Amino acid sequence: MKLTLTSAEKAVSVIQSNQRVFVHSVFASPRPLVNALSQRASELRNVEMVHIHTEGDAPYAEEGMEKSFHVNALFVGPNMRKAVEEGRADYIPVFLSECPALFRKGILPIDVALIQVSPPDKHGYCSLGVSVDIAKAAVDTAKIVIAQLNRHMPRTHGDGIIHIDRIHSFVEGHEPLLEAEISKPDEIEMAIGKHVAALVDDGATLQMGIGAIPNAVLSCLGNHKNLGIHTEMFSDGAIPLIESGVINGSQKTNHPGKTVSGFVMGTKKLYDFIDDNPQVVLLDIAYVNDTHVIRRNPKVTAINSAIEVDITGQVCADSIGSRQFSGVGGQMDFIRGASLSEGGKPIIALPSSTSKGLSRIVPMLKPAAGVTTTRAHVHYIVTEFGVADLYGKNLRQRAMALVGIAHPNHRESLEKEIWQRFHKIGS
């Protein structure tokens, strides 16, 4: 068992034109390897880069790199939006739960996986750290695996354990991980958080993401009991509830007592919390986001966001008209899993209007907007003005319920649209 280090430049020299390269996800993106590969642009052609959301710079997607690299993004993060708009990158619509199958079934076979890992333990095992998600499948199937070794990467329990024999090249890169900015909820977001928290039952299993609204919800759950977490990702907001015992996982069917996730996004406080913490397990996203797995937990409460919702309940969460903003991700995985869970509650939470005062509850989605979650899957829509329970309601009843939680400035115009469409106002 021997670990041999090399330079980033030498490690990525094995990558050839016309190959497909996977880049480790979110805050695990191996920047020294990415930068070294990007510097080979003049000698490479048509290298396909595949990944979900990655943080930090993505020089291979910058203007002028088109002949050398092309991105096939499974989720569009901030560093990819301009590249997608300008044609240097493409987006593949796919449920997050099914991304690993693209690798495992050979639909997108991986030639080289660029990953970031913790140093090996005495048995020779490294950890994928903060992002197991789809990286586990990439490592399992790639012909070549190149790893940045980083002592700042936390060792996490679960599926992200890799023996050094599986890794072909190691490059040292001991740099602190990038961190997510944890925003403080404003008045509107706190109002939404309170409405959502009122829907959460004791003993519920939570799924939520990062951001001001999830943080607002979590801050309102201090008096709840025996909550659990089974989620594609979590952030710092969950830590106080875990430490206080509000989140203890005691009622979960799958992995009782454990906080289950596919990846984490947060600050060094979160990274330190998950480091060698057996209470937290990061697992393959094909398992975490499997609807059949999700539904086995009790009272699954899935809290997701949206860009806009039409008056029949169609949810757009990944695009602004034809502009690709993010991706399908795991929203549908958990919305469906929660609806099938005994006592489950699928929730879409969003402010009633944009920062410019435009209504986010609309008569019709913008032209070319994607339907992330269908109206047949939607149950609860929450804004700062309350909760609309759409389950079991017809189209007109849904529309009237949504008008009730729209911003007051837009209710009259929405009612006119309802009258034109359904020829009736009211229940």
Written as one letter, the residue type at 150 is N
Contacts of 151 (CB under 8 A, 6+ apart): 118, 119, 174
Q: Which of 55, 189, 232, 384 is catalytic?
A: 232
Strands 361-362 and 308-310: parallel
**Where in 235-338 does DSSP place strands (E)?**
259-261, 263-264, 280-282, 300-304, 308-310, 315-316, 319-320, 323-324
Task: Please say if 62 is a catalytic residue.
Answer: no
φ/ψ of 403, rounded to 5, equals -60, -35
In angstroms, how far is the first alpha carbon of the chain from the final one?
A: 71
The tokens describing 69, both together, are: 């690299």
The tokens describing 398, both together, are: 């849904």
Q: Is the Cβ–Cβ distance between 296 and 340 less than 8 Å? A: no
Number of residues assigned to the chain: 427
The tokens describing 252, both together, are: 């979960």
Angle, vertex CA 210, rays to CA 213 and CA 204, nearest 5: 75
Measured in whole angstroms, how far is the alpha carbon of residue 301 from the centre of its chain?
A: 16
Please report where in the chains the tokens 């149950």 appear, as a residue: 379
φ/ψ of 158, rounded to 5, equals 125, -140
CA distance 183 to 239: 15
- Spell 74-102 as b/e; 16+ CB within 10 A means b: bbbbebbbebbeeebbebbebbbbbbbbb
Strands 89-91 and 69-73: parallel
Q: Is the Cβ–Cβ distance between 10 and 34 less than 8 Å? A: no
Count the Cβ atoms, other than its own, within 10 Å of residue 143.
13
Please identify every residue annotated as catalytic: 232
